[in-house]
Amino acid sequence: MNVHVIHNTAKNGIEIVFSNPIAKELILFLQKLGFKHFFKDETKWYADYHPAYIRFANDLKKAIESDTDWNAITIAPSFKASEFFIEKLKFCIVEIRFKKKDYFIKDEYLVFENYKRIATIIAERFALKHFGTHFDSITIYPRNYKTKAKDLFDLGAIIGLDAKGQFLPVELPPSLWEYTTDHEDESINEDSTEVITVDKTHKFNNTGILENQPDFDQLLILEIIDKLVSIEQTTKVTDTRLIQTLITEIEEASTINFDALRLDKLKYIIRLYKEWFEDFPNCFKASVAIAIRPLIAFTNESFEIKSFATNLVFNTYQVANVLVPLYAHECFQKGLISLQQIPKLKIQFPYLFEVTIETLHKLSEFELFELSQLKNYSDLGININSRELDRHWQINGFDIFKRLDYPADLQYPYVSLIKGYISVQTLEQILDNDKQSYRWLYLMQNFRPIADLTIGIDSIDRKIKKLSEKLGDLKKGKGLTDIPYTKLLKKRENTQEKINALFESKKCIEVYIENMLSKQLDENDFIDTDVAINEPKIPKFYFDSFVAGMSLLYYKHKKPTLSQIENLSTSKKFPNKETLGEAIELSTIDHFRSVYRHANENYVWIDGMRNFWKNLQFDRSFTNDKQRFEHSQILPLPVAMMIARYLQMKEATSIFDPTAGSGNLLVGANERVTHANELCKLKRKSLKFSNFNEITNYDPTSPYPKEMHKSFDIVVCNPPLLKSTKTKNEKLDIIEEHLDNAHFMADTFQVQELISALALLTMKDDGKAVIVVNTHIVFDEKGRIKHKREFLNWLCKHYNIRDIINLDTAIITKDENKKQKKMLILIDGRKEKPSYNTPTKENQPHLADVIGSFYDLWERFKRNQLPSIDVMIEQLQIAVKQNEA
């Protein structure tokens, strides 16, 4: 028999092709090892292009062609034993269980192989060689146990083979010596694949890979793990941490023997997958979804997403920001399939080539999408024709679109896969194209819906700008002196035609957005959540319809365009730009407040906040530099949300903001217990819509009423740059009476510090506060704080300073040309006895660090959520006194 071993570069796989049918025993072993046979052909087998599979395929070819025993082929780990491969998760930890009489014992070993099937076979052979009939079962542990792996590595508990295929010596623990004493008398082939058991009916259920494995759950989990590992191994993406974590979580679930506990673990994994979904690279998002889908069905969990946004990359261009079906394999996402791909598709997707007109209705919406990317069906051996398939789409198309989560509105813009954004047409225009005989197939093979319409407009604007610059060069003849004039004219015409087409595409998108927005705003002032489950619930605001329209766009992850803002402001008759600006601000705060209430505790919410702030939040314009400067002092909403989480505003019983503005710092506050103070009448109306418990207009540079002193659990303060109306003597009187003679605050340039100090007087002795200061902690040559030293000395004297966090420009402004400095001072209660302990470079050098990402900022906040040393000492002292009493 001849054997051919082929490296399939297109699939990045290894193929074994036998000239004659092979024995059942070899078929079973190939399946156990992880090979799969081609469609209805057990003479052709394939697996991932993985070192162990490559070595085995070549050894099998030699054994069969030389007529030697293939059972003697060595199965060796793919990687060398080293800590480097532990860090890269290229290992498995195997637990081998042994039995003698009625007594069981187990031991753990390290195999430098990350495919569980291969690692299991290596471990089985090792156990059979060393322990014979005492060997009972094997369990493969998840790869995320790095610490345990390093411990086993240090102990030398490694299953490895030498160049001759012999197991390397392993120093066994004394407890296992007796298990090998009678092993020498047994005649066992060290390379035999026969399974030796104490009980003939026992089949090593813990391995989860034997062909007669009765545990369907374990087989399902193993199949999913193998698919995910295959994706991990074959992807060109460098950062595979997310998929590695998903694999190890599922591997961990596979080791749980109790059905109820295993099911709970699997449901937890599905919830993780839902949260991580958007973070998976688009290039294998569909593959991961298809692999995970059986697990979602098995756990009875739901996953509503049926399509996702991606960029389709072709040989010489890409079409960005389009929707593709989630459960359609990647090769079908780009439209019409070429003839060169057909042989591979017949192997991978045999169900598509077995379809007939009678079985067409049995296909899922995703399989129908895949089938529709083919052509010349009869030439491919498929018993169906284009007319029949197109007719099926005509009858069922809009219903299928809903199941695919594709927009079925006839006016929705679709982009051409061939011309890109140069050709954007509505769904109606495509289906009414008289030039096409099979219009639905033409649609499915050549167009995709635009995912985010505002991103689509931005893409078109960039293309128009680029082509306009090119047209300018062509008109000047720049760099084209050798081109004939007629050819130059032709280039100008072609470029101008593309620009005109792009303007038409842009108009197509803008008309749809404006029509839909007007329709939504005209129909209702709010959304009926019983009818539109996925739409935001919009209460009546002060700026009713405008804020409702903006909120709808934000909930659809769309950035409002300037034309939308202008049309809305005209139709709603805003009296001035100041009122319009406040309405824009209010829309953003309302959206963030809703996000905060539904955000979970992991890092996904940080990604969502960062994306919204950077890419979706509308950047309002200002009439003058003064307004622009004042707005730049407002803390970004992602930072405000983190402050709310750190202070646990949801659980607080009383909250106060002395300079609330539109309510940025109160985005996470419980409005029923919040007191918002603001001088501006327009902003007070904005605060009113948020239903805060109390809204006042006290002068923040004056002491608050006595009943407010020491009355709030939480105080937040980001003082604006105000000019105090008080004389210096009036301020000195206030400072002498309330602020421990901190005379420096009477200075004209210390108004923000005065506002913060007066605000802190309203905090309870055991309350918490966060105040914002416009500087960074910098130490001078003597290690002392360089800026705002007097204020920080006074603050540290009277309050417990938990931390001071310098914020980098990157997380407080989107303007790359503007450098801003802000720091957050975290306060944890008031000192019983004033005492100086101002930080220095010697005792707190980390205070000079500058936080440059939202992730790092949240980590810093989380570290500060633990009780301070002073608080713990005080709690211990109280406990000791209580015990003594």
Q: Which is nearest to 756 in space by CA: 678, 701, 801?
A: 701
pLDDT of 132 higher than 70? yes
Across residues 22-33, what is the average pLDDT?
Answer: 88
**How high is the pLDDT of residue 590?**
78
pLDDT of 302 higher than 60? yes
Across residues 427-443, what is the average pLDDT?
Answer: 92
Q: Say which residues have a Cβ less than 8 Å from residue 32's Cβ, sequence separation at least 6.
A: 117, 121, 209, 210, 211
Same domain, 715 and 791: yes
Boundary residue ending a domain (476, 505, 534): 505
List, for residues 400-428, the tens digit of each pLDDT value: 999 999 999 999 999 999 999 999 999 99
- What average pLDDT does the structure give for the chain? 81
Boundary residue ending a domain (563, 597, 617): 617
447 vs 588, higher pLDDT: 447
pLDDT of 450 higher than 60? yes
Give per-residue burial for 597-622: e unless 16+ CB within 10 Å, then b.
eebeeeebbbbbbbebbeebbbebee
Structural domain count of the chain: 6
**How high is the pLDDT of residue 716?**
95
Same domain, 91 and 8: no
Same domain, 760 and 784: yes
Sign for the pseudo-dihedral over CA of 497, 499, 504, 505: positive
**How high is the pLDDT of residue 659?**
92
Same domain, 666 and 590: no
pLDDT of 877 higher than 80? no
Across residues 808-835, what is the average pLDDT?
Answer: 85
Is 574 a domain residue?
yes
From CA 499, how far away is CA 738, in angstroms rounded? 68
How sure is the predictor about 206, in pLDDT bands with cuts at 50, 70 and 90? very low
**How high is the pLDDT of residue 825?**
94
Is 359 a domain residue?
no
Is 627 a domain residue?
yes
28 vs 147, higher pLDDT: 28
Dihedrals φ, ψ of 6, to 5°? Answer: -125, 135
List, for residues 627-676, the tens digit of each pLDDT value: 777 777 788 888 998 899 899 888 889 999 999 988 889 988 888 899 99
Same domain, 717 and 828: yes
The number of C-alpha atoms within 13 Å of 714 and in the hemisphere containing its C-beta is 25
- Measure CA of the first residue to CA of the last residue in the chain; give whole Å: 92
**β-strand 307-313 against 318-325: which pairing, if any?**
antiparallel
Q: Which of 124-133, 377-386, 698-707 has the lowest mean pLDDT?
A: 124-133
Is the overall model pTM greater than 0.85, yes or no?
Answer: no
Domain of 724, in residue numbers: 622-872
**How high is the pLDDT of residue 870?**
54
Share of the chain above pLDDT 70, in %: 83
How sure is the predictor about 770, in pLDDT bands with cuts at 50, 70 and 90? very high
Sign for the pseudo-dihedral over CA of 358, 361, 363, 369: positive
pLDDT of 506 higher than 60? yes
Report residue 680 CA to chain centroid gap. 40
List, for residues 260-295, the tens digit of each pLDDT value: 888 888 888 888 888 788 878 888 889 899 989 988
**How high is the pLDDT of residue 340?**
86
Same domain, 770 and 632: yes
DSSP line for 702-717: SPPPGGGTT-EEEEEE
**How high is the pLDDT of residue 24?**
87
Across residues 511-523, what is the average pLDDT?
Answer: 69
Same domain, 230 and 199: no
**How high is the pLDDT of residue 39?**
62
From CA 446, how far away is CA 334, in angstroms rounded? 8
pLDDT of 160 higher than 60? yes
**How high is the pLDDT of residue 284?**
85
Is 386 a domain residue?
no
Is 440 a domain residue?
no
DSSP line for 205-232: GGG---TT---HHHHHHHHHHHHHHHHH
Read off the DSSP letter of residue 816.
Answer: T
Cα–Cα distances (Å) from 539 to 486, 571, 581, 589, 777, in that order, read: 63, 20, 20, 13, 42
**How high is the pLDDT of residue 799?**
92
Same domain, 15 and 105: no
List, for residues 561-615, the tens digit of each pLDDT value: 887 777 767 665 666 777 788 888 888 887 777 766 655 555 556 777 777 788 8
The number of C-alpha atoms within 13 Å of 334 and in the hemisphere containing its C-beta is 15
Same domain, 184 and 113: yes
**How high is the pLDDT of residue 556?**
66
Q: Which of 206-220, 521-535, 803-817 has the lowest mean pLDDT?
A: 521-535
Same domain, 831 and 740: yes
Is 861 a domain residue?
yes
Both tokens of residue 507? 């108009």
Q: Which is nearest to 757 in space by CA: 731, 782, 777?
A: 731
How sure is the predictor about 537, in pLDDT bands with cuts at 50, 70 and 90? very low
From CA 298, how far away is CA 106, in angstroms rounded? 32
Is 414 a domain residue?
no
**How high is the pLDDT of residue 184?**
43
Dihedrals φ, ψ of 528, to 5°? Answer: -80, 105
Residue 138, beta-bridge partner list = 96
Same domain, 839 and 749: yes
Across residues 860-879, what is the average pLDDT?
Answer: 65
List, for residues 712-738, the tens digit of each pLDDT value: 999 999 998 777 778 888 888 888 888
**How high is the pLDDT of residue 717?**
94
From CA 663, how far away is CA 52, in angstroms rounded? 61
Report long-range pairs for 265-273 (Cβ below 8 Å, ≥24 apart): 266/221, 266/295, 266/298, 266/299, 267/299, 267/301, 269/295, 270/295, 270/296, 270/299, 270/301, 270/303, 271/301, 272/246, 273/246
Q: Which is nearest to 46 in space by CA: 95, 5, 94?
A: 5
Boundary residue ending a domain (505, 536, 566): 505
**How high is the pLDDT of residue 88?**
78
β strands within 611-746, DSSP E: 655-657, 674-677, 694-696, 712-717
Contact 638, 610 (CB under 8 A): yes
Same domain, 862 and 774: yes
pLDDT of 369 higher than 60? yes
From CA 224, how far away is CA 299, in angstroms rounded? 14
Is 64 a domain residue?
yes
Tokens 């060398």, located at residue: 80
**How high is the pLDDT of residue 755?**
92
Sign for the pseudo-dihedral over CA of 695, 698, 701, 704: negative
**How high is the pLDDT of residue 524?**
42
